[in-house]
Amino acid sequence: MRHYGLLFLILLACTSSLAQFPLGGAARQSDASRTVVDDYCRMDYAGSRLAKDTWPRMKPLTAWKENPDWNGFTIVSQYDILDAADGLRSAAVRVQYAVLGRFQIRLGYLAEPGREEVSFRLKKMDGAWKIEDQDPAINPHVSKARAIAWLKSSLVAEKDAANKITLEKALQELGAKP
DSSP 69: P
Distances (CA, A) of 160 to 153, 155, 163, 164, 176: 14, 10, 5, 6, 21
Model confidence, pTM: 0.82
Q: What is the rounded CA–CA span in Å between residue 62 and residue 37?
A: 9
The answer as to CATH 3.30.70 being correct for domain 17-143 is no
Could you tell me the strand order of the sheet in which 108-125 lies?
128-135, 108-125, 90-104, 72-86, 141-142
Q: What is the pLDDT of residue 31?
A: 87
Distances (CA, A) of 151 to 24, 48, 51, 63: 45, 15, 12, 29
* Domain edges within the chain: 17-143
Per-residue pLDDT band at 178 (split at 50, 70, 90): confident
Per-residue pLDDT tens digits for 137-177: 999 999 999 999 999 999 999 999 999 999 999 999 999 98
Of 65 and 14, the one with more pLDDT: 65
Q: Which run of H or E residues covers position 23?
A: none
Q: What is the rounded CA–CA span in Å between residue 67 and residue 116?
A: 21
